[in-house]
Amino acid sequence: MDFRKVVIIGGGFAGINLAQKLSKNKQFQITLVDKNNYNFFPPLLYQVATGFLEASNISYPFRKFFQDSQNLHFSLGAFLEVFPEEKRVSTESGDLYYDYLVFATGTETNYFGMENVKKNSVPMKTVQDALALRNHILMNKERATKITDLNERKKILSIVVAGAGPTGVEVSGMLAEMHKKIFKKDYPELNREEVQIYLVDALPVVLNPMSKKSQEQTLEELKELGINVLLDHAVSDYVDGIVSFKNGKKIETETLIWTSGVTATALPGIPKEALGRGKRVIVDAYNRVMGYDHIYALGDICLMTTDEKFPDGHPQLAQVAIQQGRNLAENLVRIAENKEQKPFKYTDKGTMAIIGINKAVADLPGLHFKGFIAYFLWLVVHLFSLIRYRNQVKTLYNWMVLFFTRDQSLRFILDAKPENKG
């Protein structure tokens, strides 16, 4: 029996759904390549960063996930370059040959060319980012308890979150809840009034992709939580502990959390002509990369304009990636069976964002919810989106503790650097 070799670069929403579905078909030999040895759930990174979930709650090892799949191999290492004429891809672990190559590498943080922001801010894209942010916030609290200068203490305790999309809203809302309910007990030496949380965005609204109702309700809830929302404030620099804006305003802080934008990851070997807006790879209705018959791109990294309901491309959401991964799996099987392929059509299941405990907004097809109902819907959707039952149970337990106690005991400062014993 001839096997078709499929190499998948990236084990996020798109890659793991493609691999999972395709691994059930013995006509394919699949190699999944990722720079991490685990899949993780990005929408809950901010809860790891704020100490409400453990990193293991939202992560699961690839090898354990696929240990019963005889036709799937995992390769740890970053993608380096593709050589389409040879059907060869180079990775940190060596070269791989393919019949079909699928890029599902997602996005990386976009700093819009601001090197100081890139150097000094904290992003929210990886598990390592989330743990680094948790360490940073807790260390600053400890430092502040030992400082008597009020101006210096205010600078240490102030937090600026750049980007008022779902991630920015959720992380700033969770930080406000923490300062309101938890830190006053953990750090009695500090005055709550000294802690200032700023949510800033260059746009005139929060949650730009969502409905006007959701935007207005979210803005009101954020202000009720005590968050300073600064719209029409585009960050221009961040140096020496000062966030500068294009309108001339400045904020002193030692914590700038950057959630303001993303750009597609680089794909050496794919020509620039195949790249569109935001460096996204231009694909046809079947997710084939422009100019290639055997190379595909899925999820956030691709730009598809053939879906009539989304002529400017799909939103960079988890559901798009999941549906594209499953659709491509079906199409690769159809190709193997000499059947006609199915063009991708995105089914919009809605958008939602959590602001705080019992505070959320949800825009579902034809419906809008806010408050506890939206909060409950958000919890259910995100809980069942986790990759394994084990993750769901652990996360549900932590959420129940949070809901009933408004507290959690996961605020550890864990330094990943080895201790110097020299």
Spans of all domains in the chain:
4-35+77-109+262-336, 115-260+351-405
Residue 416's pLDDT band (cuts 50, 70, 90): low
- Are both 4-35+77-109+262-336 and 115-260+351-405 of the same fold? yes
Reported as a single tens digit per residue, the pLDDT across 93-103 is: 999 999 999 99
Residue 422's pLDDT band (cuts 50, 70, 90): very low
Q: Residue 355: is its pLDDT beyond 50?
A: yes
Q: Residue 272: is its pLDDT beyond 70?
A: yes
pLDDT at 419: 47
Three-state secondary-structure class, residue 132: helix
pLDDT at 420: 47
pLDDT at 77: 97
CB 334 within 8 A of CB 344: no
Rounded CA separation 19/23 (Å): 6
CATH number of 4-35+77-109+262-336: 3.50.50.60
Residue found under tokens 């809203």? 169
Rounded CA separation 311/282 (Å): 13
CA angle 54, 56, 62 (to 5 degrees): 160
Residue 1's pLDDT band (cuts 50, 70, 90): low
- Amino acid (one-letter) located at 40: F
pLDDT at 181: 81
Reported as a single tens digit per residue, the pLDDT across 363-406 is: 999 999 999 999 999 999 999 888 888 899 989 988 888 887 77
Q: Residue 421: is its pLDDT beyond 50?
A: no
pLDDT at 418: 45
Which is more confidently placed, 256 or 261?
256
pTM of the predicted structure, to 2 decimals? 0.92
CATH number of 115-260+351-405: 3.50.50.100
